[in-house]
């Protein structure tokens, strides 16, 4: 009987902890991924400005990280921001059409599996977006 009470107590406390995790609604996750994709596309367009870089980075948490093992590993928010501004000022963002089109967003608990199609090549790119509150805390890319 004591064992049953202990198991029941553990189950209740676990259920309580699971309910304490504030989760974003699926539609909010989809909206945030869409907004981030649009902002990223704007940043890479011909005629973009530092304000366009700032707009995408405003969607990231202060501890944001970008992970792409095939292309350099892990980038901190600061490093990625510096690289983005440097590329902009060097004239490397010259796209005439958006880089990505969203194919699908599969929301989970404060995360989403995202498939974006690269406009130029037609290749699909898989990524996982993770969220803290309504900001993106991590993007992990799974393509080469």
Q: Tell me: pLDDT of 29 over 80.
A: yes
pTM (2 d.p.): 0.84
Please, which residues bridge with residue 119 across strands? none
Instruction: State the DSSP code for 99.
Output: S
57, 143, 63, 47: which is closest to 100 by C-alpha?
A: 143
Q: Which residue has the higher pLDDT, 24 or 18?
A: 24
Q: What is the pLDDT of residues 47-97, one digit of tens each?
A: 999 999 999 999 999 999 999 999 989 999 999 999 999 999 999 999 999
| Residue-range domain boundaries for the chain | 24-141
pLDDT of residue 22: 87
pLDDT, average across residues 6-13: 41
- Cα separation, 57 vs 77, in Å, equals 8
- Architecture of the domain delimited by 24-141: Roll (3.10)
CB contact at 8 A, 114 and 105: yes
């Amino acid at each position: 009987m004591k064992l049953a009470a202990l198991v029941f107590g553990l189950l209740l406390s676990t259920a309580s902890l699971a309910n304490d995790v504030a989760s974003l609604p699926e539609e909010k996750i989809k909206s945030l991924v869409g907004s981030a994709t649009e902002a990223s596309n704007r940043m890479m367009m011909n005629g973009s400005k530092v304000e366009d870089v700032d707009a995408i980075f405003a969607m990231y948490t202060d501890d944001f990280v970008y992970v792409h093992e095939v292309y350099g590993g892990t980038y901190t928010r600061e490093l990625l921001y510096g690289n983005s501004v440097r590329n902009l000022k060097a004239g490397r963002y010259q796209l005439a059409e958006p880089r990505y089109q969203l194919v699908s967003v599969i929301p989970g608990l404060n995360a989403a599996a995202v498939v974006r199609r690269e406009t130029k090549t037609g290749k699909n790119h898989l990524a996982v977006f993770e969220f803290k509150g309504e900001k993106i805390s991590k993007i992990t890319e799974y393509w080469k």
